[in-house]
Amino acid sequence: MSLASPYLRAQSSELRTQNSADLLRFSTAGSVDDGKSTLIGRLLYETKQIVDDQLEAVERASRQQGADYLNLALLTDGLRAEREQGITIDVAYRYFATPRRKFIIADTPGHVQYTRNMITGASTSDLALILVDARNGVVEQTRRHALLATLLGVPRLVVCINKMDLVDYSEETFAGIRSEFEAFASRLNVEQIAYIPVSALAGDNVAEPSANMSWYGGPSLLRYLEEAPAGGRDRLGSLRFPVQYVVRPLSHEHHDYRGYAGQIAAGSVRPGDEVLVLPAGLTTRVASVDVFEDSLQEASAPLSVTLRLADDLAVSRGDMICSAYEPPTCTNALEATLCWLGTQPLRLDAPYLIQHSTRRVRAIVTALHHRLDPNTLDRDDTAGTLNLNDIGCASLRITQPLFVDSYDDCRATGSFILIDAGTHDTVAGGMVAPFPRPLAGES
């Protein structure tokens, strides 16, 4: 009989189910009042995800507000209002499906004050959907969201130029905004950008092609989402398994069982594989790959499993079981991109904590090399600190070694959060890599 920690049971089952389906995770971003809530509501409505009583409530609320149309923004504006009142500013996740695919939307706030939440939503996304109000064109938040999405390794952007009904479905307006965004995006490290003119309110080009924009020959938004590649952002194929929990059953029947539970961060693992245990630097083989009531012949990221090893080694939370042939870098010093999330500015040589996968160690920021302007992408080499929502490149020194990869190769082992050692507030998200990455057209 195989064992796993109880907290893994439901998660393992859920992840296996998700892996068997075609699932696309995408985030939505846009400036305030660009129509993000209406667009999400429209997607839910067109894919028949709204139950009858919920639809009736929206219709009733729309009439009470004096609207002569179905205000689909009401499906999500309740949570937005809560965020703006300070009740919560967290990311909201929406779920819907079509016969062709399942979707998870990370609905992120649009206000600059909540940029940190946009980072949370985009960090696990295969695609970022950026809304632009056709009347206003590209604004500061448009550029900021596009920059953050590409820094976070999101390979595809969909620029939805919304409210086309308010500019008479003008092809010239669409072309002008597209040209403006392309000029900015030419310096970003992004694989693919699609531009789709829509009216979330009227439904134009959301689920079906619009007769009002016959000049547009591309797919509707929903068709694009159904066909966009999912996953595949991490290039690292070697095993990375941060140990989260040591499984030692108390029952007499399984008294000799010792397993190491956690989530596979990258790669895959099979019984018999030779692995390296860090920081001990010892090699062994995998005896079994266990999930609740089952053992697997192979498991891949992001499945949660329990690994049993052939040898009795001292392994604890925060250690890493990895490929014996392509291990991560073991280092006490990092250079990283920091997205500053704290209300207090960065302090050089002040005590911080780094949370990297399941390992937490003390650290200091020894140098700030430059700060990036999200509007112009210019670097300020004279910057002495980072404030809320700033992005910059910094060097860090760490008291105990971390086992890291480049963020370009593996998000899970190439990312970390920085924590204030005094208040325990999360103050920054970090990506292991020299910053900025080479921009298109630069050597």
Q: Is the pLDDT of residue 83 over 70?
A: no
- pLDDT for residue 12: 42
- pLDDT for residue 19: 44
Residue 261: count other Cβ atoms within 10 Å of its Cβ: 23
pLDDT tens string 48-68: 877 666 667 666 776 676 666
Residue 97, CA distances (Å) to 45, 103, 221, 328, 441 in order = 11, 6, 14, 37, 39
pLDDT tens string 351-397: 999 999 999 999 999 999 999 988 888 899 999 999 998 999 999 99
Report the alpha-carbon distance of residue 205 to residue 199 in Å, rounded.
Answer: 7
- pLDDT for residue 364: 97
- Sorted by where each starts, the structural domains of the chain and their CATH numbers stand as 23-227 (3.40.50.300), 235-323 (2.40.30.10), 329-432 (2.40.30.10)
Question: Which one is predicted more confidently, 105 or 55?
Answer: 105
Q: Where are the beta strands (DSSP E) in 92-154?
A: 92-98, 101-107, 127-133
**Quick one: pLDDT band at residue 235, thresholds 50, 70, 90?**
low
Question: Which one is predicted more confidently, 13 or 356?
Answer: 356
Report the alpha-carbon distance of residue 314 to residue 306 in Å, rounded.
Answer: 16
Residue 68: count other Cβ atoms within 10 Å of its Cβ: 7
- pLDDT for residue 110: 61
pLDDT tens string 108-152: 766 666 666 777 778 888 999 999 999 999 998 899 889 988 888
Report the alpha-carbon distance of residue 64 to residue 125 in Å, rounded.
Answer: 37
Residue of 292, 318, 326, 317 whose CA lies nearest to 306: 292
Q: Is the pLDDT of residue 434 over 50?
A: no
**DSSP output for 17-64:** HHHHS-EEEEEEEE-TTSSHHHHHHHHHHHTT-S-HHHHHHHHHHHHH
- pLDDT for residue 32: 74
